[in-house]
Amino acid sequence: TIMWLYFLRMSGDYDLQTARRLAQNREAARKSRIRKKAYLAQLENSRSKLTHLEQELQRARQQGIFIAGGGSGDCSSGGALAFDLEYARWLDDHQRHINNLRVAVIADMGDDELRILVESVLLHYDEFFRLKNLATKSDVFHVLSGMWMSPAERFFMWLGGFRSSEILKVLASHLEPLTDQQLMGICNLQQSSQQAEDALSQGMEALQQALSETLAAAAGAGPLAGAGNVTNYMGQMAIAMGKLSTLENFLRQGDLLRQQTLQQMHRILTTRQAARALLVISDYFSRLRALSSLWLARPRD
């Protein structure tokens, strides 16, 4: 009798272990299917982006946009084309990071593993700001123009990028529920971002006004106005060049604000909320790029 009871107990334990193992195998297979689907979507997205990039580069060459290009693939060596290519590579890598993060959120991955993926996305944003800093030194007007972005993104751009305060507004309705402390933190972050944006915008307006006045003063002292005015003309243009050099600083301050906003957002939110926030931000810009593609492909009479 004792042996029979022992056998029944061992058999029950074996069945429980088997059921647990089968459940684990099914869960692993489900996650594998999700990863495969995300990977295939990433490949298709990369192919589409490469095709779009080739079309944009061809259009740019026809319009003669990249006259300053260094073409070496290194933004520090100069040229709009170098930065555009680096940005295209960054965008493909960013999509890969986002796909991995999306799979982890859907699969309800643990916080420790999820935190690694969130931090990898934030580090990748840091790399983007580094590339932009190099490009700003090389061709500040190209970065400011936003020609490296899609048309719909350019419509919303501010100082060579997105407005931090607007991104926080987009996030507000996608991160609920938030604690009172988190809600206050997001509101304060949005308010401080808006104030910083207003200050930088006023600085840009003041720079434009100062440049306009300097160039207007130089207009009457051009080289054709007589030899006596050449010195005055060159002096005014030197002043204009000095004022214009501050433009790089405005762009860097804008990117610094964007970078700090992402970091502060990460500190306020939980790991899972931060993951959702990064997905929302990425999806928002993906929709802007999709809108641009639809607009460019629209029928024309």
The pLDDT profile of the chain, 301 residues, written as one tens digit per residue, is 555 445 545 555 556 666 677 777 777 777 767 766 665 565 566 556 555 555 555 555 444 443 333 344 455 445 788 899 999 999 999 999 999 999 999 999 899 999 999 999 999 999 999 999 999 999 999 999 999 999 999 999 999 999 999 999 989 878 878 999 999 999 999 999 999 999 999 999 999 999 888 888 776 555 555 445 667 778 888 888 888 889 999 999 999 999 999 999 999 999 999 999 999 999 999 999 999 999 998 888 7
Please report, as a single letter, which amino acid is at residue 73: G
CA atoms of 268 and 49, how far apart (whole Å):
33
pLDDT of residue 275: 96
pLDDT of residue 174: 87
Provide the 10 A C-beta neighbour count for residue 218.
Answer: 19
Q: Which two tokens stand for residue 23?
A: 């459940």
DSSP per position, 95-136: HHHHHHHHHHHHTT--HHHHHHHHHHHHHHHHHHHHHHHHHH
Between helix 246-268 and helix 271-296 the angle, nearest 10°, is 130
Verdict on whether the full-model pTM lies above 0.75: no
pLDDT of residue 26: 78
Sign of CA dihedral 191, 197, 198, 203: positive
pLDDT of residue 72: 41
Residues in the chain: 301
Please report, as a single letter, which amino acid is at residue 70: G
Three-state DSSP at 178 gives coil
